[in-house]
Amino acid sequence: MSIPSFGVGTFRLDGQVAIDSVRNALDVGYRAIDTAQIYNNEAEVGQAIAESGVKRDELFITTKIWLDNYAHDKLIPSLKESLAKLRTDYVDLTLIHWPAPGNGISVTEFMTALADAKAQGLTQQIGISNFNIELTQQAIDVVGKQAIATNQIELSPYLQNPKLVAFLKQQGIHITSYMTLAYGNVLKDKVINAIAKRHQATPAQVTLAWALRLGYSVIPSSTKRENLASNLQASQLQLTDEDMAQIAALERNGRLVSPDGLAPKWDD
């Protein structure tokens, strides 16, 4: 199973805002939804899906295991709770949210538990999120590179992660980009705005099209229906080689997310 190139994210969305965002996303054509245990919105996502009328087999649902549930005896029970909240018998993809190298649970333990969850049919695919090269290799050593569907990492024109990206491509592990718009910072970038003007597109569309052309999946979020619909049009935007080169030159190692205790030592 391949991972959809375009999905909707739900980070920092809760309550009715989360319900409305997912409902609007499904209504304008999204079929992939990304959530996580720590977002505390799985129930809202499940409600929006149930009320949308979209068939389950048309959807691709991703959730992520939080570090409190990494122990082998906790991971599967926690995933079953997530499924109950999401009102589904399975998710399409389950990720380890952060490697949390100091939390006392080994990569071997949580990857084995994740593989067991897949064997039980609770998740169709498994993967990782925010793993550096060293920890990705450790995960590969446990379950094999073919079993790791994706590494979901922070990627934007300002943070292009060349070493990690090259390693993941070498291993055949798909890349999912989050924070692709860098909290909106890239939308003010002069280079990206100039490219957008040339293509009669929005800066967000240009940035998402850049990531898509590099082969990444993207999961932008929005509380506004018009932005959700506009973002989705990025899949139709064809950037030129010159456009891509100009965006590549924006790299500045501009990482925005690196929580203490959760993040690894990055491959900068």
Quote the domain boundaries for residue 72. 8-248
| Residue 174 annotated as binding site | no
The predicted-structure confidence for 141-192, as pLDDT tens digits, reads as follows 999 999 999 999 999 999 999 999 999 999 999 999 999 999 999 999 999 9
In a domain, 253, yes or no: no
Q: How confident is the model at residue 204, as a pLDDT?
A: 98
CB 60 within 8 A of CB 86: no
Give the C-alpha separation, 149 to 66, whole Å.
18
Q: Is residue 129 part of a domain?
A: yes
pLDDT tens, residue by residue, 206-252 = 999 999 999 999 999 999 999 999 999 999 999 999 999 999 999 99
pTM above 0.85, yes or no: yes
Tell me if 64 is assigned to some domain. yes
SS (H, E, C) the chain: CCCCCECEECCCCCHHHHHHHHHHHHHHCCCEEECCHHHCCHHHHHHHHHHHCCCHHHCEEEEEECHHHCCHHHHHHHHHHHHHHHCCCCEEEEEECCCCCCCCCCHHHHHHHHHHHHHCCCEEEEEEECCCHHHHHHHHHHHCHHHEEEEEEECECCECCHHHHHHHHHHCCEEEEECCCHHHHHHHCHHHHHHHHHHCCCHHHHHHHHHHHCCCEECCCCCCHHHHHHHHHHHHCCCCHHHHHHHHCCCCCCCCCCCCCCCCCCCC
CATH number, domain containing residue 137: 3.20.20.100
CA distance 7 to 217: 8
Residues 39, 70, 158, 216: which is the catalytic one?
A: 39
Average pLDDT over residues 17-38: 98
Cα–Cα distance measured from residue 153 to residue 28, given in angstroms and rounded to the nearest whole number? 26
Query: Do residues 7 and 60 lie in contact, with contact meaning Cβ atoms separated by under 8 Å?
Result: yes
Structure confidence at residue 22 as a pLDDT band (50, 70, 90): very high
259 assigned to some structural domain: no
Q: Is residue 148 part of a domain?
A: yes
**Is 185 a domain residue?**
yes
Query: Would you state the pLDDT for residue 268?
Result: 81
Q: What is the pLDDT of residue 14?
A: 96
For residue 74, is pLDDT > 80? yes
Residue 125 domain flag: yes
**Residue 68 covered by a domain:** yes
Domains held by the chain: number: 1
Rounded to the nearest integer, the mean pLDDT of the chain is 97
Query: pLDDT exceeding 70 applies to what percent of the chain?
Result: 100
Radius of gyration of the chain (CA): 18
Q: Mark whether 39 is an active-site residue.
A: yes
Distance CA 73, CA 89 (A): 20
pLDDT value for 237: 98
Confidence of residue 1 (pLDDT cuts 50, 70, 90): low
> Which of 23, 31, 18, 20 has the alpha carbon at shortest distance from 61?
31
